Structure 1
Amino acid sequence: MKKKFLIALMLVGSLTNAQKLKNEKGGLAALKNESSVNVSFNYDNLKLLKENYNEEEYISRRKSDLNEKENGNGDAWVSKWNAAKDGIWEPKFIELLLKTVEDITFKENNLTAKYTLMVDAVWIYPGWDVYMMKQPAKVTTKIKLVETANPSNVIYEVDAIDAPGDQFGSNFSNESRVGEGFAKTAKTLGKKINKEIK
């Protein structure tokens, strides 16, 4: 019985590692001779959970829930959430692009680069982890490669759907799990870039 349970867990784990790229337009071959690419992130259109809360609604509800359980926890969590974009999600995304794609430097505020990779966070499910039971985060983004000097000139775009965010062992931080979803998106995109510029 224990063996069947472990096999089932492994199967579920392998299913959650899938990252779907949909609605692709254009291509990434333009990066073939580029040594650096600008990266920008946007959260203006972000929705959260199956209820599709906007970020303000999500923060308000989560803060209230955590403060009800223990006064002050919600306020502490808001600080962690607000710091996660610059401190975890964006660095994870860039780190995995740099690890996956050789010979191209990806960084923010690199406005001298010919192209900009725009990452628009569309939907996030933070997941959960309660000791032996867990649900990975899911991150959906719309990614565009545009000319830095003329962002209306879109070279490539794709919807990166439900990137799984999880780590081996326990991970009780929602923000860290979401960061793994951003990392998975970057790894998938990096592999695609490699394929098109070789």
Structure 2
Amino acid sequence: MKTKTIIISMLLLISVTIALGQKIEVKSGNLDFLKNQKKLKIEYDYSNMGVGKFEKEEDYIKKKVSELNEKEAGSGDQWKENWVTDRKQSFEPKFEDLLNESLKKNNLVGGNFDDAEYTLILRTVFTEPGFNVGVARKNAYTDLEAVFVKTGSADPLAIVTIEKSPGRGGMGYDFDTGFRIQESYAKAGKELGQYLVKKVL
């Protein structure tokens, strides 16, 4: 009976684990302007983002806050605060750390540089938060657009899509939603940096 339970748990685990293949593609323009640059300003845009089954992030937040507050008063409000603060505290630093780890080979660094000639606006199009309840899990992932503009301008010089950037912990101990999503941004930063080094710089 115990063996049967373990097998069922393993099958459930496999059935809900999505094998994600990250894909990076230049959708418009070209990135030749990055050659010989030393600094790249980075900004972030989370507006008009879909989350999970919801086309609008605000609908996802409303449902999540209501569900959590029903279980424990105030827990939904705390979750909502973390949902937003995780961006500055972990998603963005992780993206930049891994991006710069790749770019340092070409002496290019990304960050909050107002004097950089070009800006990368990382736009989050979609977030799948995923879940991990021990016997079953679903990886997080994000769909992103890296929009390159001349600093101070809104006109795109190039747009690079990063589809299904996976987020999960290496040992499977990624029970926290914020941690899973953080790893998705880390992966996106690493892969985008490697792509730029290989294809452009």
Task: State the TM-score, normalized to the length of structure 2.
Answer: 0.85
1:115-136: CA deviations, max 9, x gaps?
A: 1001111110100011132111
Provide structure 2 residue ranges, at least 5 long, that are not aligned to the other structure: none
Mapping of residues 1-198 of structure 1, within 5 Å: 15-16=19-20, 18-22=21-25, 24-52=27-55, 54-102=56-104, 103-108=107-112, 110-152=113-155, 154-168=156-170, 169-198=172-201
1:16-35: CA deviations, max 9, x gaps?
A: 2x211246222223222111
Q: Give 1 or 2: higher strand fraction.
A: 1
Question: 2:122–2:145: 8 Å Cα contact kept in structure 1?
Answer: yes
**Secondary structure, counterpart of 2:154 in structure 1:** strand
Task: State the TM-score, normalized to the length of structure 1.
Answer: 0.86
1:55-98: CA deviations, max 9, x gaps?
A: 22211110111111222221221121121111111111111101
**Secondary structure, counterpart of 1:112 in structure 2:** coil
Question: 2:91–2:182: 8 Å Cα contact kept in structure 1?
Answer: yes
- In 2, the alpha carbon distance for the partners of 1:158 and 1:86 equals 22
Deviation at 1:149, TM superposition (A): 3.5
Runs of 4+ in 1 over 3 A off after TM superposition: none
**Secondary structure, counterpart of 1:132 in structure 2:** coil
Equivalent residue letter for 1:67 = N
Equivalent residue letter for 2:100 = L
**Secondary structure, counterpart of 1:71 in structure 2:** coil
Provide structure 1 residue ranges, at least 5 long, that are not aligned to the other structure: none
Q: CA RMSD in A?
A: 2.3
1:102-160: CA deviations, max 9, x gaps?
A: 1111102x1210110011111101000111321110101111111113331x3221221
**Secondary structure, counterpart of 1:143 in structure 2:** strand
